[in-house]
């Protein structure tokens, strides 16, 4: 159907259809505004937290050195696996069950949330006891460093709070109040920084183990504060809602059906990922690098390069988390056209954004390395891994869409395949090729995971790849970077190493990229018209959209 709104007025019998269409458009625009508002709030909060996190990483690197950061990364590798065992699956399950309770079953949300919290608390307590009692064994036989035992024991105490916070996060996402929860995350980050700095000051000069314990104590305090804040917020939000008293049918079965595949996939992947990360320093040593240099190289890639490289991804992380309840609701109501509209728009927007980020990191890797760490140690890794940015960023968006479409079993399968292959490649390549072997592993892993996920999304939706729309932004990005770099050759050399020039160059590259997209048709008049319509008064916005576009909501 391609009629414009005005066409309804020519036929009086179609006036009811016109009014119904207008009401739908008003609701659609309201939902789109709310979606974009939540995404913006989450993105701003995430950018703030990433900024604080990267800055704090710089502070910790200066306090502990590369070897100390490497030791802390070993502890966090095991703890990350423990977090995965304690909390995996519950965030997705809470989101999906609360969405179903509100939109389809009209059930008691309070009982659903309580069941999620009690279930994950039981799992988390078991995992915490295992980590606490087995910390000496892990430090001696897994990490080969006795200094990691005490930090692991302390971290085990925060596992129940982290797990229940994950369930509460899923609840806030489901009720479209992710922006409220972003405030809790900001509070958590601020408490983490302040308490860690305080503990580091108290334990300064007592060696790497004491410094590592200080960071761990700061983390435990922030996890507790985060849980308490989110728990009391959720009680207030549940009390404000119109709560139904119906019991959700087959609640336990549905909870297990959603949570178990996601959790099992995360568990297996976490085990394999932990093995991979433990093999990396060992592989570096076998390649001829000394023990201290092996930890330093590992710390440079994982604690310094990847946080900077993934810094802008907070936008897509926010988008992916909000896509789960959005797509899950349309999937439950069997509104396939709107799902397809969301998928096509979001994936194309993610492609444009990821190419911009990749181009900036590739072109200004040296300047960014010097600006953030005051050294060029991360420059080669930033420039090399910038090529992977579109793959990594798009995979985040695709993963959120698959979970919204009830495809967590497929995600589990792909993650296990990906992680298993990584372990094999790390075991054989790093001892022989050192850092080059690890870079090859990263490329193979990310590309394979994205390929499998995208193929699945194509099968379960109406998504079709348009190679012209993929190649055009790549050429636009290349032209933008080349143009700005050519202009930079006319500037004085000392100016090119300053932070103001770097900021100006990134802004100029972004503007040139957008202009090239507009001139080449990568961004069409219809795209601009749709985006502008979101911020118009509701009636004008509804009048400006034709019926053929009603399937697109984001």
Q: Average pLDDT, stretch 109-133?
A: 91
Q: Which residues of 365-402 are buried (b: 16+ CB within 10 A; e: fewer)?
A: bbbbbbebbeeebbbbbbbbbbebbbbbbbbbbbbbbb
Residue 33 — left, alpha, or beta (φ > 0 → left; ψ -120 to 50 → alpha)? alpha
Q: Is the pLDDT of residue 550 over 50?
A: no
Q: Average pLDDT, stretch 381-394?
A: 92
d(CA 123, CA 87): 8
pLDDT at position 476 is 94
pLDDT at position 403 is 80
CB 163 within 8 Å of CB 86: yes
CB 105 within 8 Å of CB 249: yes
**Is pLDDT larger for residue 530 or for residue 375?**
375
pLDDT band at 3 (very low <50, low <70, confident <90, very high): very low
What count of Cα atoms within 13 Å lies in the side-chain half-sphere of residue 10? 5
pLDDT at position 544 is 43
Q: How far apart are the first and last CA of the chain?
A: 20
Mean pLDDT of the chain: 80
pLDDT band at 448 (very low <50, low <70, confident <90, very high): very high
d(CA 437, CA 425): 8
pLDDT band at 453 (very low <50, low <70, confident <90, very high): very high
pLDDT at position 160 is 94
DSSP 247: P
Sign of the C-alpha dihedral computed for residues 354, 319, 401 and 32 taken in this order: negative
Of the candidate ranges 396-400, 501-505, 550-554, the one whose mean pLDDT is the lowest: 550-554
Q: Quick one: angle between helices 149-156 and 15-87, nearest 10?
A: 140
Query: Between the ranges 31-45, 106-120, 125-139, where is the mean pLDDT highest?
Result: 125-139
Of the candidate ranges 224-228, 280-284, 391-395, the one whose mean pLDDT is the lowest: 280-284
pLDDT band at 545 (very low <50, low <70, confident <90, very high): very low
pLDDT in tens, 80-106: 889 988 988 898 888 888 888 877 756
- Calculate the alpha carbon distances from 304 to 248, 301, 310, 363, 532 in Å: 46, 6, 11, 18, 39
pLDDT in tens, 44-68: 777 777 777 767 777 777 777 766 7
The 3-class SS string of 437-494 reads HHHHHHHHHHHHHHHHHHHHHHHHCCCCCCHHHHHHHHHHHHHHHHHHHHHHCCCCHH
pLDDT at position 553 is 33
Neighbours of 241 (CB within 10 A): 11
pLDDT band at 478 (very low <50, low <70, confident <90, very high): very high
Q: Is the pLDDT of residue 205 over 70?
A: no
Q: Average pLDDT, stretch 231-241?
A: 83
d(CA 452, CA 395): 10
pLDDT band at 269 (very low <50, low <70, confident <90, very high): confident
pLDDT band at 2 (very low <50, low <70, confident <90, very high): very low
pLDDT band at 194 (very low <50, low <70, confident <90, very high): confident
pLDDT at position 96 is 85
Q: Is the pLDDT of residue 347 over 50?
A: yes
Collapsing DSSP to helix, strand or coil, 554 comes out as coil
| Structure tokens that stand for 185 in this block | 């995350």
Q: Is the pLDDT of residue 451 over 90?
A: yes
């Amino acid at each position: 159907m391609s009629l414009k709104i005005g066409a309804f007025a020519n036929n009086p019998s179609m006036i009811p259809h016109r009014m119904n269409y207008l009401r739908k458009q008003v609701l659609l625009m309201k939902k789109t505004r709310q979606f974009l508002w939540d995404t913006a709030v989450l993105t701003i909060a995430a950018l703030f937290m990433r900024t604080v996190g990267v800055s704090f990483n710089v502070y910790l690197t200066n306090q502990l050195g590369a070897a100390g950061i490497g030791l802390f990364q070993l502890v966090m590798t095991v703890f990350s696996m423990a977090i995965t065992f304690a909390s995996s699956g519950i965030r997705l399950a809470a989101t999906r069950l609360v969405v179903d309770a509100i939109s389809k079953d009209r059930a008691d949300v309070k009982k659903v949330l309580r069941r999620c919290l009690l279930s994950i608390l039981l799992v988390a307590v078991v995992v915490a006891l295992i980590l606490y009692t087995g910390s000496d064994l892990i430090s001696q036989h897994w990490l080969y460093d006795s200094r990691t035992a005490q930090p692991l024991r302390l971290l085990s105490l925060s596992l129940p709070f982290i797990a229940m916070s994950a369930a509460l996060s899923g609840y806030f996402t489901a009720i479209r109040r992710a922006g409220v929860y972003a405030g809790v995350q900001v509070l958590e980050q601020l408490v983490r920084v302040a308490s860690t700095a305080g503990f580091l000051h108290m334990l300064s000069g007592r060696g790497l183990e004491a410094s590592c314990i200080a960071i761990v104590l700061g983390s435990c305090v922030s996890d507790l504060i985060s849980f308490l804040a989110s728990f009391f917020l959720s009680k207030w939000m549940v009390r404000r809602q119109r709560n139904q008293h119906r019991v959700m049918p087959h609640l336990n079965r549905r909870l297990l059906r959603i949570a178990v595949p996601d959790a099992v996939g995360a568990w297996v992947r976490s085990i394999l990922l932990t093995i991979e990360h433990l093999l990396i320093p060992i592989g570096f040593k076998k390649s001829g690098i000394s023990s201290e240099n092996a930890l330093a190289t590992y710390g440079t890639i994982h604690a310094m390069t990847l946080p900077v490289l993934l810094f802008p991804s907070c936008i897509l992380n926010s988008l992916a988390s909000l896509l789960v309840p959005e797509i899950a609701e349309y999937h439950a109501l069997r509104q396939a056209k709107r799902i397809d509209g969301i998928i096509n728009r979001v994936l194309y927007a993610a492609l444009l954004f990821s190419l911009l980020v990749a181009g900036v990191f590739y072109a200004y890797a040296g300047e960014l390395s010097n600006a953030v760490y005051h050294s060029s140690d991360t420059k080669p890794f930033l420039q090399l891994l910038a090529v992977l940015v579109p793959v990594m960023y798009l995979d985040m968006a695709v993963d959120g869409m698959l979970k919204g479409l009830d495809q967590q079993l497929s995600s589990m399968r792909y993650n296990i395949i990906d992680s298993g292959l990584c372990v094999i490649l790390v075991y054989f390549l790093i001892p022989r090729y050192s850092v080059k072997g690890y870079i090859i592993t990263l490329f193979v892993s990310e590309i394979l995971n994205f390929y499998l996920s995208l193929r699945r999304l194509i099968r379960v939706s109406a998504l079709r790849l348009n190679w012209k729309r993929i190649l055009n932004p790549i050429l636009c990005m290349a032209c933008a970077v080349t143009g700005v770099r050519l202009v930079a050759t006319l500037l004085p050399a000392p100016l090119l190493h300053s932070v103001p020039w770097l900021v100006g160059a990134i802004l100029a590259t972004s503007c040139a990229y957008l202009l090239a997209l507009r001139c080449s048709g990568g961004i069409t008049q219809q795209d601009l018209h749709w985006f502008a319509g979101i911020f118009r008064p509701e009636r004008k916005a509804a009048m400006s959209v034709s019926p053929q576009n009603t399937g697109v909501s984001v």
